[in-house]
Amino acid sequence: MNILKKSLVFLLTLGAFSSPMAAQASGPAPVLDAQPGATLELVQAEGKQDPPGILNDLKIDNVRQLALRLSSNRNWLRKDVLKALDKMGVRVSEIFAEAPEFVKVDQKLYRLVLEKVGSGWQGFDPHSSPYLIFLDHDTFDGYGENFALAFESGKERMIIEEDLHKVAAIGLSLRDITPDEWPKGGAGVVGIDQPIRLGKVAPRFRSANPLDIESIVNSSTSCLVESAPTSCSGGVPVCSSPNASPYFVLSSLLIKTNHEGAFSGDPGIELYPLRANLGSPFGGSTDVRTTWIFDGRTVTDLMGRSRYLPDVDNNYTWYPISGGLALFPSQVSNTWAATLIEDDDTKGRLKIDRNKYNPVKKRDAFIDFFPFDLFDNLVSAGNYAYLILTLGILNDSDDLFLQSLEVSNATFCSEALGQSFPYTLTFDSSEWSFQGYFACIDPTCVPDPCAGDPCCGDPCCGDPYCGGGCGPYGCP
């Protein structure tokens, strides 16, 4: 039986939906079951090719000058900046008082971001140790796949991958942004043909990490924003409060493999909550987007709460989402698939060939194979929070983390009902994992999570190297 399943998946992967006309005639493809690992080699995970670097020889000069200055003046390598770089990519505008928030290239806006790369950081002394500033290949790849443009002590050089393991290296990149991040009135924007000014080093590195879920659950209030569903009815979690609705809340994320090369920087992680729909019409939307982008940004979850999504840089590291992200409403669908993408092109937009199969790992360890045409996407932004779009992706430049992971209400009803709250469930696949819990969320109950805490969410509070202070952006 397993041999037959392997052969069927192989044939479907190679031949199903070979053209839009054929797909329309044949209708939805069957869903297959397979033992874990049986057919993973038959499912393409990578996009066809990475796009070229954003900058070319005619546009690189001002970014080159910026990298040169960062390599020659080390007064910005403070303890608080290095501490932040250990955990995430850091925007240049978070370090320097006059640095622009955005750089404009060909009518698109990008942030200037720094990130630690390689294994040459052991024993690093910010006052004396050598270090490199290099341009990642997403920004500039003019020297070919095996080389990168770098700067050390104000001098330009080319480096190979081995150099990243010998010397402390910091990648400088242009990170694209989503439309909702565009500034009003063009504030904080410079063109790529303009000098990038930095000014003085800011007195404090800014960070905005909200509190953990425990501080909300245990807060002294008679009204809890989150509580455990009390029962299940028709396979759906039931809330005791009439004002509350059941949600799956994401609490942490881990990646096991990096789909990026040595000079491509850290992965751009995007999470799509997808729902299998056997009645999905062929075609669908080719503009499928998500706001769940893990690159160090603050988003609004489906319950309207501000949440910080960490920059997911390192393999086999759990990245917590403080306060939890209300990711999927349980009443919308009994089952959905958490699908993780490494973005290679347009941030927040899904670009995968419709002919590819998405392997979805179920709780019982079996795997279902769905063509992407059979998925709906729960749009998670603005006024469209509950709009479900049928996928119809035509091009192919994003990389799929294998496998996608099934989340179902049945999992709560069989495993979490009656347990202590929040009861964390772990979902694990070959290339990534995540944790989360089911909760009833009451939007009418919003206690202040920072009440009585003068250092709420400030990791620098009381640290003399950060300057101490209170609040996520320092004292007024």
pLDDT at 332: 87
Range with top average pLDDT, 31-40, 121-130, 363-372: 121-130
- Structure token digits, residue 38: 């049986």
Domain ranges of the chain: 61-191, 213-441, 448-476
The pLDDT-based confidence of 380 (bands split at 50, 70, 90) is low
**AA letter at 160:** I
Range with top average pLDDT, 46-60, 253-267, 368-382: 46-60
Residue recorded with tokens 């990648």:
171
pLDDT at 158: 93
Using CA atoms, how far apart are residues 42 and 52, in angstroms rounded to an integer?
27
For the cut 90, the answer to whether the pLDDT of residue 383 exceeds it is no
For the cut 50, the answer to whether the pLDDT of residue 18 exceeds it is no
- Structure token digits, residue 374: 């059979």
Q: What angle do CA 281, 282, 284 make, to 5 degrees?
A: 80
What's the pLDDT tens digit per position in 435-459? 999 999 998 886 555 544 445 555 4
- pLDDT average, residue stretch 184-191: 80
- pLDDT average, residue stretch 202-224: 53
What's the pLDDT tens digit per position in 118-159? 889 989 999 999 999 999 888 998 888 889 999 999 999 999
Q: How many CA atoms are closer than 13 Å to the CA of 458, on its beta-carbon side?
A: 22
For the cut 60, the answer to whether the pLDDT of residue 24 exceeds it is no
Using CA atoms, how far apart are residues 24 and 4, in angstroms rounded to an integer?
26
pLDDT at 205: 65
The pLDDT-based confidence of 4 (bands split at 50, 70, 90) is very low
Selected residue with higher pLDDT from 300 and 35: 300
pLDDT at 350: 76
Mean pLDDT of the chain: 76
For the cut 50, the answer to whether the pLDDT of residue 215 exceeds it is no
pLDDT at 319: 92
Spell 179-193 as b/e; 16+ CB within 10 A means b. Answer: eeeeeeeeeeebebe
Minimal CA–CA distance to 218: which of 206, 226, 209, 230?
226
The pLDDT-based confidence of 463 (bands split at 50, 70, 90) is very low
